Amino acid sequence: MRIDFSTVLLTVDGDRLVDGGKPVTLKKIAVDALMAVTDDDKSITGEEKVSRYTLARKISANPDRSMKVEDVALIKKLIAKIYGPVVVGPAWAILDGESQIDPEATAASDDHVPVNGMAN
């Protein structure tokens, strides 16, 4: 399957996801996930670590590429381990070849709900 890792992730509102003023791409998320070592990963073999490193290098060198289904599954698993829903949702959508935005979503209303969940 072909995946464009240079795709910018979108928020639930359809805005570009940014970090430090820079757009967050699937490439950054995937490479960071492949390079991360969680508590669960401390016992993986050196061969597995090299395999993840090699895959990260391939994605970095050529972000628009064909991917093996097994590699996509690994990337999805690793992204889910280290990121929250704001990243996992759009990243998985891209990796699954789906739209990041729900086509049935309606336009946002003028009502705003602040972060604490209390209506104005």
What region does 117 belong to: left with phi over 0, alpha with psi -120 to 50, or beta?
left
Q: How confident is the model at residue 42 (pLDDT cuts 50, 70, 90)?
A: confident
Cβ within 8 Å of residue 111, ≥6 positions away: 119, 120
- pTM for the model: 0.82
Confidence of residue 100 (pLDDT cuts 50, 70, 90): confident
